[in-house]
Amino acid sequence: MKKFYIKIAIAVVALHLCAGLVIGQSTSSVPGSRLLAEAHFYVSGTSLLANDSSSYSYPNSSTMLCNEKLSYLHSAGWVLSTKSDYTYNSAGNLTYMQFQNWSTASSSYINGGLSFYTLNSAGYCIKDSNVLWIPANSAYRDNVRDFYTLNSAGQITDEIYQYWDAGSNALLNTYHYVNTYNAQGNPLVMLTQDWDASIHWMDWARTTYAYDASGTKLQTITGENSPSFGNPLRLVYQNVYTLNADGSIASCLSNLWHSATSSYGPSISSTYTYDTAGNNILSTDQQWNAATSAYKPYQEYVRTFNTHHQMTSQTRLIWNGSVYDSSSRDNYYYETYTAGIGNTSAGDARLSLAPIPTTGELHIALQWTEAQAFTAIITDMNGRLCHTFSAAASKEYTGNISLVNLPAGNYVLTIKGEQGGNISRMIVVQH
């Protein structure tokens, strides 16, 4: 079951970096469900308007490793934005990523950036390097680089972050992160340092963690920041948690440090609600009102989950003084796959669609490993059926679908083979 545990809530850096890009798979769900597409909306007046979306594709029907991500922006219609391609080693660890930008001038993708990941023998990432394409030079240039030192559990104990400096034409030290953990693997101190003009590391921020007598349940987080280089760290905030019996967070009080009184004062009060499976379905935040010396409503996040404990929607609501109004909404769409079947499974398919975005007619080219009949289903982003058709058994299929009657927007095409093959893609219709 997926719990909103403290170690997730505070985003502890560490664990198996670059150990395969698993998109949409919750940390505790069973294999068999992977992210197909996501769409993000914002509210303008009383209307929920599209902002951006992404679709994900996979090398075959039996893996949860994403090999391509296409992103779209909604600007006077859906337009392509970026493309990311991923490469893995034989153990399923991410080793390479290529990022490209869509050029409206050439109606094609152009170079954007590359990321390389160096792994140790245990599969943990110990170095990542990112380069950017410079059109004027027709070549890639260094951009950022990270070096990681890990403990035996794969947690980051030391990280050096470097950023490209145009003045010196070199990668220069920028940030240094030092992390310590207790015997249970929980964080104790996370220290951030900046590289300054005197060419040495200066403390910039520090977060400390306190636990109860059992040593496993986090009770407080305290943050400190340096207001400027050379000045000592000063207290900034404190989070105090209460926990449910299963270790999930029941509530959190965030307090800010007031130097005038040398004490913490209330800032945000958060409470968390879970369903019977342990999924965090509601988060409610209230702000402290100094005038009334009481908390007042601020915002809520309402979430839904599928049977794999993967989030299918998240709606943000903002308090308007009397009721909560929707502010934004994120939708996530998944597909099932058959885990543990090799790449030569009869269920595997290769699907090509063109053009995307389409103005009305979509060309489909489909190849199966073994001949099989299939049914194609097109649904909108709310899951409503928009179009369906079937084809007789064959290893290769080509055809055109007329979409002129569909309103402009994002849709999901799912092809289901009679032998169990299942492949999906997001399509974009523009008129």
Contact 175, 156 (CB under 8 A): no
Q: How far is CA 172 from CA 28, 136, 141, 332, in A?
A: 39, 23, 14, 39
Q: How many residues does the chain have?
A: 431
Q: Which residues contact 60 (CB under 8 A, 6 or more apart)?
A: 343, 345, 348, 349
pLDDT number for residue 227: 83
Q: Which residues contact 268 (CB under 8 A, 6 or more apart)?
A: 252, 253, 254, 285, 286, 287, 288, 298
pLDDT number for residue 337: 78
pLDDT number for residue 340: 52
Contact 305, 28 (CB under 8 A): no
pLDDT number for residue 112: 97
Q: CB atoms < 10 A from the CB of 184, how many?
A: 9
Q: Which residues contact 373 (CB under 8 A, 6 or more apart)?
A: 390, 391, 392, 393, 417, 418
Q: Is 1-16+154-289's fold the same as 349-429's? A: no
pLDDT number for residue 345: 40
Helix and strand element counts for the chain (H, E): 1, 25
Nearest Cα neighbor of 211 from 236, 176, 170, 182 is 182
Question: Token pair of 320, please?
Answer: 């308007």
Contact 95, 89 (CB under 8 A): yes
d(CA 153, CA 15): 7
d(CA 273, CA 250): 7
HEC assignment per residue over 141-154:
EEEEEEEEEECCCC
Bridge partners of 82?
71, 101
Per-domain residue ranges for the chain?
Answer: 1-16+154-289, 349-429
Contact 172, 165 (CB under 8 A): yes
What tens-digit pLDDT sequence spans the chain (431 residues)? 444 444 333 333 333 334 344 454 433 334 588 899 999 999 988 888 989 999 998 887 778 889 999 999 988 788 889 999 999 999 889 999 999 999 989 989 999 999 999 999 999 999 999 999 999 999 999 999 999 999 999 999 999 999 999 999 999 999 999 999 998 899 999 999 999 877 889 999 999 999 988 888 888 999 999 987 667 899 999 999 999 988 899 999 999 999 999 999 999 999 999 999 999 999 999 999 999 999 999 999 999 999 999 999 999 999 999 999 999 999 999 888 776 543 334 346 788 888 888 888 899 999 888 888 999 999 888 778 899 999 999 999 999 999 999 998 889 898 888 877 778 888 888 87
Query: What 3-state DSSP class applies to 24?
Result: coil
Q: Which residues contact 354 (CB under 8 A, 6 or more apart)?
A: 362, 363, 365
Bridge partners of 239?
221, 254
d(CA 64, CA 32): 8
Q: Which residues contact 262 (CB under 8 A, 6 or more apart)?
A: none
Fold annotation for 349-429: Immunoglobulin-like (2.60.40)
pLDDT number for residue 339: 65
Q: How far apart are the first and last CA of the chain?
A: 44
- What is the DSSP secondary structure assignment for residue 166, as one 8-state letter? T
Query: What 3-state DSSP class applies to 8?
Result: helix
Question: For 1-16+154-289, which CATH class?
Answer: mainly beta
d(CA 337, CA 414): 12
